[in-house]
Structure 1
């Protein structure tokens, strides 16, 4: 055995380092290295899952991805090759880049520059037909997002927004107002893509830009839409009261709001209610939104998920039920809904499957949960959606009672590929 190869009984070097730090359990070690990684990487969402740590202490720990390696070094002052990990053939360590050159942050800065172009724009004629062009492109971006996930689209959509921004600066009258409306849809999409990719700081920036455009437009529909976008970020941060606050602000002028906008606000407020454990409000809000759905007849270029997504509001209800711990109710709803998800919505299907699997586990159906998780895990690998991986982490928590049982080990094997891809 070479000095850096784990013995057949498990990775004793990592286990010894863990115990030396006073972390008596693998779960405590995962939390400790997560905290060290968040500080070292300046990433508040960085996390090492307990199942990942268990794999690291196994006889075949594999080789950790770069951010995990930096977190391990921050926690133990030792690199993976000195902690019992199997060194890939021909591998050589490169010096870690300085913090300011972090690849993820560099990407955000370069993309954000598209939204902050400095300097005057030369006068030019802006044809109103460009509004239709950008709207049609937007529909294509929505479809591609459902198939590929966030990473391949961020640069493309933000570059198009840079052009829209330049045109807004010189356009006049109705053309300018139309470009503001479509521009808000583009910034909201970039914000969503970052949210799906797990970068909540970048998501909040682009959601804030959507709100700026909305206020400049003086359009009440767009202002309410921008508040819903902010509420979506708060939902992912699990701030239920913050979600409700933003949605109530959006509904202050609900008499003038288009039905579609009210649908968006009400369903998002239901998510806030689920986070505050208010099941009655969840059903009331979803039912109110359902009553408005048949009146949605507008040409607003954003917020069309309620028309594009089959059973959109029941999907929200099932998600809220799952968050409330209503496993049987949520599982039953997901079984009905998933049969109608089109093949073009592959990424959404995986998210729904992961949520159904969690509901099945909550309903004490672990075998069903693992079977459902298989398909979701494969799509998570293909798309690289961090949001989807978080759904699978939630499933892992729901399956904790079966952690030491064969079905729990089976789930760990299913999710291994997701950990390696992440």
Structure 2
């Protein structure tokens, strides 16, 4: 019976790349209810396989809610996943759920939560995959980027890259599905928002261009491409706000409006997307050149006020202690 639900969950992971959260949430929540009923009618002391599977389903439900924009529901289901994982001593899943909660804090623009939860994941006892430690370091880096601490951002990013280079396949079959697909390419893609937050727009654009060109045509809904398009639109808002009459900024805005007429949805095909990427990159580079150093220090690049950021104050205290 549980093999059937395992198979369904694997198919949900695949379907999420094309369907998105709204079509999958109903079936996933219904299957959690069925699994929980099975757990309730299982003899005490024999529920471990069911609880492990429930933790995986709850983690996925949390992701679907986050992807749909409901971070409160995402955190609730992530807490349930943590609870079920703790019940069976699955420390790898416990650590992974701390990273998931850190990611939800990122969506809520809570840099302190991002850093603290990711750092906690690296302190979880028990056998934990080096790839999971790499993911935790990457998530920490994203939090420090929100705090505009470029040095710590680079340090944590370097640690994540080193772990992935040294342990590219060091993950057991029971590890969270995401870890099986987590690699240096994923790390690079997700670092783009950190570079942008630190004011290094050119690096962010170069990363996004490479990821856009590599997106396969059948993954129209792929969440990676959705993140990429969101990053490009963030850059567009920064440029048009700071230099509304700059010709290159106007041209970039029009190019994005043509490529994504409905906002941040991916374009009709990856081929069309890749064909536009070189032109968009050239436009952004022209904006950076025309704007000068001000682009890299533009306050709009960072979503956290430097003067009031508790992360910034914490970084300053660390430097003083040195």
In structure 1, the partner of 2:190 is 316
Quote the Cα distance in structure 2 between the aligned partners of 1:161 and 1:212. Answer: 14
CA distance in structure 2 between the partners assigned to 1:306 and 1:355 by the alignment: 25
How far 1:306 sits from its partner (Å)? 5.9
Counterpart selection for 1:372 from 251, 256, 263: 256
Please state how far the C-alpha of 1:305 moved relative to its aligned partner. 5.6
Q: In structure 1, what is the Cα distance between the partners aligned to 2:44 and 2:159?
A: 36
1:275 aligns with 146
User: Residues 338 and 249 from structure 1, CA distance in 2 versus in 1: closer, same or farther, beyond 3 angstroms?
Assistant: same
Partner residue, 2:85: 214
Alignment of 1:75-154 (within 5 A): 130-154=1-25
Unaligned runs of 5+ in 2: 240-247, 268-297, 301-322
Q: Which SS does the other structure have where 1:252 is aligned? A: coil
Aligned Cα RMSD in Å? 3.0
- Who is 2:116 aligned against? 245
Cα 1:382–1:292 change in 2 (3 A) is closer
Equivalent residue of 1:235, what SS?
A: helix
Query: Equivalents in 1 of 2:30, 2:43: separation in Å?
Result: 22
Alignment of 1:180-329 (within 5 A): 180-253=51-124, 256-293=127-164, 294-300=168-174, 302-304=176-178, 307=181, 311-329=185-203
For 1:344-379, what per-residue CA distance to the aligned partner results, in whole angstroms no more than 9, with x for missing partners? 432331321231343366577442344235444548
Note the C-alpha offset of 1:131.
Answer: 3.9
The match for 2:279 is none
TM-score with structure 1 setting the length:
0.54
TM-score by length of 2: 0.69
Instruction: State the partner residue of 2:37.
Output: 166
The separation in 2 between residues aligned to 1:173 and 1:346, in whole angstroms, is 45
Cα deviation 1:222-243 (Å, max 9, x = unaligned): 1111211211111111111111
Q: Within the alignment, does 1:334 sit opposite 2:218 as a pair?
A: no
Q: Structure 1 residues 226 and 242, CA, compared in 2 at 3 Å: closer, same or farther?
A: same
What does residue range 332-371 of structure 1 map to in structure 2 within 5 Å?
332-347=206-221, 348-359=224-235, 362=238, 365-371=249-255
After the TM superposition, which parts of structure 1 deviate over 6 Å for at least 4 consecutive aligned residues? 172-175
Deviation at 1:343, TM superposition (A): 2.9
1:176 Cα deviation from its structure 2 partner: 3.4
- After superposition, give the CA deviation of every residue in 1:223-280 in whole Å (9 maximum; x if it has no partner): 1112112111111111111111111211113673112321321222122111111222
Contact map agreement 2:91 2:125 (CA 8 A) in 1: no
Report the Cα distance in structure 2 between the residues aligned to 1:309 and 1:163, rounded to whole angstroms: 34
8 A contact 1:260–1:303 mirrored in 2: no
Cα distance in 2 for residues equivalent to 1:320 and 1:225:
21
CA distance in structure 2 between the aligned counterparts of 1:202 and 1:162, rounded to whole angstroms = 16
Contact 1:354-1:376 at 8 Å conserved across structures: no
The answer on whether the counterparts of 1:354 and 1:373 sit within 8 Å (CA) in structure 2 is no
CA distance in 2, matches of 1:286, 1:254: 23
Q: Determine the C-alpha separation between the residues in 2 that align with 1:360 and 1:309.
A: 28
Higher Cα radius of gyration: 1
Residues 275 and 193 of structure 1: CA distance in aligned 2, closer, same or farther (over 3 Å): same
Partner Cα separation in structure 2 for residue 278 and residue 297 of structure 1: 31
Q: Give me the whole-angstrom Cα distance separating, in 2, the residues matched to 1:255 and 1:218.
A: 9
* 1:176 and 2:47 matched: yes
* Cα distance, 1:187–1:282 mapped onto 2, change above 3 Å: same
